[in-house]
């Protein structure tokens, strides 16, 4: 049985803690068929990397285009939160518009909630701070609230002696985070990650 490590200031992660969490998630993904997550080291910044996974999304409409998407989970070290990032483009390499992103990645039942969330909606585009190319990302502003909400328990909840820790370990952090937000943008975390 492996020893679990916990964030020093849960629910926030330092860069070192993110690396442990990301590499633990990468190891877990190797036991799940078809996931394809990889760790990419930055070309110039020593010990600065990120998780990445590429997949093809078939857009179902009259044009029936295929779009390439790359899921990248970086960390923004200045606020010590991480975010889900999408690089999405047409087969010819042309970046998609925000409306095309919404129609490709967001379930229709979640569309309005995502569009009204945050300053520009739940998804925005900007240059990636590490890769220096345009990316779409889910706003990380509520990451801390989300991660705290899954460990908070009402006062009436009885203490479980089998699980005396009310924090999520670094080894389970990204798996838990993606299982909560991933479905919104078509990233499903298989039950095998939790077995």
DSSP character string of 105-151:
HS-GGGHHHHHHSTTT-SEEEEE-TTT-SEEEEE--TTHHHHHHHTT
So which residues are the catalytic ones?
141
Buried residues in 59-95 as b, exposed as e (16+ CB within 10 A): eeeeeeeebebebbbbbeeeebbbbbbbbbeeeeeee
Region 185-191: mean pLDDT is 83
Query: Strand 75-76 to strand 85-89: parallel, antiparallel, or no bridges (unpaired)?
Result: unpaired
What are the Cα distances from residue 28, in Å, to 3, 25, 41, 55?
Answer: 15, 5, 19, 19
pLDDT of residue 89: 64
Q: What integer pLDDT is reported at residue 157 of this predicted model?
A: 42
Report phi then psi at 5, rounded to 5. Answer: -115, 145
Q: How is residue 95 annotated by DSSP?
A: B
Q: Give me the pLDDT at residue 121, please.
A: 58
**What is residue 27's predicted lDDT score, i.e. its pLDDT?**
94
pTM exceeding the 0.75 threshold for the entire prediction: no
Name the band, by pLDDT with cuts 50, 70 and 90, for residue 90: low
Question: pLDDT for 36-88, tens place per residue?
Answer: 898 888 888 787 888 888 876 665 554 445 555 555 555 433 333 344 555 56
Tell me: the pLDDT tens digits for 101-119? 777 777 788 777 777 765 5
As a whole number of angstroms, the distance between CA 90 and CA 15 comes to 33
Structural domains of the chain, ranges and CATH numbers in brackets: 15-150+172-190 (3.30.1460.50)
pLDDT at 168 over 80: yes
Is the CB of residue 147 less than 8 Å from the CB of residue 7? no
Do 118 and 141 touch, CB atoms closer than 8 A? yes
What is the DSSP annotation of 147-185?
HHHTT---TTSPP-TT----S--HHHHHHHHHHHHGGGG
């Amino acid at each position: 049985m492996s020893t679990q490590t916990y964030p020093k200031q849960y629910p926030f992660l330092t860069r070192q803690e993110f690396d442990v969490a990301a590499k633990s998630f990468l190891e877990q993904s190797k036991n799940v068929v078809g996931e394809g997550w990889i760790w990419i080291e930055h070309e110039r910044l020593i010990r600065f990397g990120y998780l990445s996974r590429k997949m093809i999304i078939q857009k179902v409409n009259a044009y029936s285009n295929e779009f390439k998407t790359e899921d990248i989970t970086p960390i923004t070290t200045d606020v010590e939160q991480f975010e889900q990032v999408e690089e999405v483009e047409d087969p010819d390499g042309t970046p998609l518009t925000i409306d095309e992103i919404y129609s490709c990645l967001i379930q229709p039942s979640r569309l309005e909630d995502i569009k009204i969330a945050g300053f520009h909606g739940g998804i925005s585009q900007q240059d990636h701070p590490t890769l220096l190319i345009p990316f779409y990302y889910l706003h990380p502003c509520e990451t801390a609230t989300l991660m705290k909400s899954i460990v908070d328990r009402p006062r009436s909840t009885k203490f479980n002696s089998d699980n005396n820790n009310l924090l999520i370990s670094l080894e389970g952090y990204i798996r838990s985070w993606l299982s909560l937000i991933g479905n919104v943008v078509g990233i499903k975390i298989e039950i095998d990650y939790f077995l």
